Amino acid sequence: MDPSIPVIAGSALVLLLYLADILSSRWRLPSVVVLVLLGWMARAALERAGFPPPPLRPYLPTIGLLGLALVVLDGALELRWEPGKGTPALRAAATAVLALGSMTALAGAALRWGEGIPWRSALLDAVPLSIVSSAIAIPSAARLDRADRDHVAVESSLSDILGVLLFNALATPAPSGMSTLLHLGGNAAATAILSVAVCTGLLYLMSRTTHKVRFFPLLAALLLAFSLGKFFHLSSLLLLFVFGLLLAHIPSLPKGAVRSRLLYPGFPRDLRLLETLVRETTFVARTFFFFLFGFTLDLSDLAGPSAWIAGAALLAVVYATRAGSLALAFGSAPRNLVFLAPRGLITILLAESVPLENRSSWLGGGALLIVILGTSLLQVLAGRKVAESAGVAPLLDHLRIPGLGRTP
C-alpha cells in the first residue's frame, strides 16, 4: 500500500468530522447523533460497494478511554473557583451522588426482581446507565450562565469519577455489603494520594522546564499516569480532574513557598496554550469515538419491541431520578439542568466492560443505543441555550412542564 493513502484517509476523515460538527447546528441535530449516523452510513457504503468493513471495534475502547480522560481534563481546566462558591460546588457534588445512587438502585432493583439475577450483576449492569457523560454534557452547557456551566462541569466529571469507582468496586470479586464499601473507600483514598503526588510533581516540572517542547510530554505523562491507574483498577479520572483544577488555580494560591515554586512569569501564556492543545485533542478523540461507535453499530438490535420497551423505561427512570436529585439539591428542578443528562462515552465503555456472565438479557445493545441517542435528542427540552450549543433548534423552548423550574 502506498504510505500516502492512510495519511489521505485520516486527514480527510478529520476534516469530514470537523465539517459535520459545524453543520450539525444547521441540521438542528446534536453532533453526537450526526457523528453516529455518519459512522453507520460509512459502513453501509463500504458494504454496498463490495468492500469488507475493517475490524475497527477493538480500537473503540482505547479511543474512548483517551477521549474520556481528555474531556475530564478539559472540563477541570475551565473551572474557576471563587470565594463563595463552596455551596454551588457542594450542590453539584450532591446532585452527582444522588442521581448516580438513585438511578443505580432503581434500575438494579428492576433487574434483580424482574430478571431474577443476583444483586451484584444487577447493579453492575445499572451503573453504566446511571452516569452523566461529561463528554456530551460539558460541550452542551457551553452557552449556559457561568454558574450553571460550572455546575454541569463539576457534576458530570464527578459522575464519571464516582461511577467508575462504583463500577470497579462491584466488578471486583468480593462478598457484597461492607467489603464492597471498604474496597470503594480504599480505591478512592489510593487514587486521591496518587493524584496529589503525580500532579504536584508534574506542576513543579512544568514550572522549571525551559525546553521548547513541553506540553505534549506533559500530556503524555498525565495520560501515562491515568492509564497505569486504570490498569490497576483505580479511578484515575480523579487524577486528571485534580491536575486541571490545580493548574487553573495556581495564580489564586496564597503567597508562599508553594505558589512561588509553581508560578512563573510565562505561566498565563502557557496555561492558554495547554488549554488549546487539550481542547483540540479532545475534539479529535471524541469525534472519532462516536464515528467509530456508529461504524460498528448492529442495528438488528433495534428490530424487536423489547429493546424499545426497555429503552423507554430507562429514559423515564433517568429523568425521574435526575429531577428528584436536583429538587433535593436546589429546592426545585431547573428544566435546563433536568434534561441535560446525556449518556454516552463512559456508558459505552463500562457497558462493554461488564463480564458476559453478568450481563442482563434485558439490556442489550438496542436498549443501550436508545438511551444514548434518546438522552442526546431530549436535550431539546432543556431550553434555548442548551439546545443551541448542542446543535438543536429550541423548538420546544416555549414548553412549560409542571413541577420543573423555568429555564433562565
Read off the pLDDT of residues 158-198 as tens digits, 9 standing for 90 and up: 898 888 888 887 877 655 555 655 666 666 677 777 777 77
Section 46-65 average pLDDT: 85
Question: Which pLDDT score is estimated for 321?
Answer: 93
pLDDT confidence of residue 299: 76
pLDDT > 70? residue 85: no
111, 341, 362 from 310: Cα distances, Å: 11, 18, 7
Q: Are 180 and 109 in contact (CB under 8 A)?
A: no
By mean pLDDT, which of 41-45, 79-83, 336-340, 373-377 is the weakest?
79-83
Does residue 405 sit in helix, strand or coil?
strand
Cell of 375: 438522552
**One-letter amino acid of 81:** W
- Count CB neighbours of 189 within 10 A: 10
Reply yes or no on whether the pLDDT at 144 is more than 80.
yes
C-alpha 137/C-alpha 386 separation (Å) is: 9
DSSP run (H or E) holding 334: strand 333-334
Residues 6+ apart with CB under 8 A from 194: 225, 229, 234, 236, 239
Question: Tell me, what's the pLDDT at 25?
Answer: 63
pLDDT at residue 387 tops 70? no
Show me where the domains of the chain are located.
4-405
Cα separation, 222 vs 226, in Å, equals 6
Dist. CA 222–CA 229, nearest whole Å: 11
The pLDDT, as a whole number, for residue 258 is 67
49 DSSP assignment: T
CATH topology of domain 4-405: Na+/H+ antiporter like fold (1.20.1530)
Q: What is the rounded average pLDDT of the residues 341-363?
A: 84
Q: C-alpha angle 34/35/38, rounded to 5°? A: 85
